[in-house]
Amino acid sequence: MNGAEWFKHDADMSADEKVIYLESQFGLVGYALFNKMLEVLSRASDNRIQWNEFQCGVYARKFGCERAMFQSFIEEATRPEVAAFLLQDGWLFSNGLIKRLAPMYEKRARNAEKVRKYRQSKKGKAQSNEMQSNEVQTDDVTVTYDLVPVTHPAHAPNDTTTNEQSREEYSREEQSRKTHPPTPANVVEMPEALKALKGFAQEWEKWEKARKSSVGAARAQLETLLEHFANGYDPRKIVKFSVEADFRALARPTDDMKFPARAFSQSNQQQRHYVAVEMPQGGVNPTIRLDSLDFSRAEHLRDKALLTYDEYQLLKKTNAPNTA
């Protein structure tokens, strides 16, 4: 996978919590450095770069800032609770950027495969023409070449007089691929938090049937819905509105798509000290401490007695004891 020439810039990037935090630490320089690093990662092979003290000094010079300040920016941006970038095994990358670029790389691979098949078809037709039986008439002798059996490609002509027909067949095959793309609903794994929402699977199936998105696009859409869900929006309403409005992409959530506010009294909060969590290996852990969770990240989950593991990971505070 090579680099990309561009990446999508959301119109509301400034409202992203990661960006807000970086601006709170570094001012508008934080916003600028965040986008400059996205540019670097977009152009890089596999959308990642090796990271060490040497690279830190080089990029600080390129960006026109002090090395110490830039090092501090990278440390803040790679904190687990911020996760604007990830640093693993000496490689720096952005999960969000990789997900956004996935559909482009898939389209690039499909186009390359079409070109390869077309060139193979042209080569097969040329070989077929050379290997057909020919008769050469001279002044006093006729030389006959033996007919050599030829295995034709799937969309190559059966004789040398049907080139136009071959092109038409090839065009029909390509058009069929465009109008009947594979439906990825059965191969894209739905996040547990969305799967647990009653009625979401039915709304998602309607969206998939109407849009027939690629696997990469469907996966990115589910990740986006999971983020909206974490921010208090109902993914079912987002998908339903998008289908009814005949949108080509998921609608941006509005206030009327939020979960209804639920009353949660102080006395009830004092009575509850633990919450149960469904564990990935099976079973339920009923002794997760409430004070180890940050419900400001998803207020609509505050009064749930049983959380999914994805919801627990979303709410868990960093370095906080979580069990009794």
Do residue 85 and residue 19 come from a single domain? Answer: yes
pLDDT value for 16: 87
Whether 37 is in a domain gets the answer: yes
pLDDT value for 150: 47
Extract the residue ranges of the chain whose pLDDT is less than 50.
133, 135-141, 143-145, 147-148, 150, 152-162, 180, 182-186, 263-270, 324
Whether 202 is in a domain gets the answer: yes
Whether 237 is in a domain gets the answer: yes
Residues 6+ apart with CB under 8 A from 142: 135, 136
Domain boundary among 98, 133, 158: 98
Which of 308, 304, 235 lies closest to 277, judged by CA?
A: 308
User: Residue 62: which domain range?
Assistant: 13-98
Domain boundary among 98, 130, 157: 98
pLDDT value for 214: 78
Whether this prediction's pTM lies above 0.75 is answered by no
pLDDT tens across 76-93, in order? Answer: 999 999 999 999 888 999
Do residue 201 and residue 252 come from a single domain? Answer: yes
pLDDT value for 130: 66
Number of structural domains (the chain) is 3
Whether 243 is in a domain gets the answer: yes
Whether 125 is in a domain gets the answer: no
pLDDT tens across 181-236, in order? Answer: 544 444 578 887 788 888 899 998 888 888 777 777 888 888 888 888 877 788 99
Residues 6+ apart with CB under 8 A from 181: 212, 214
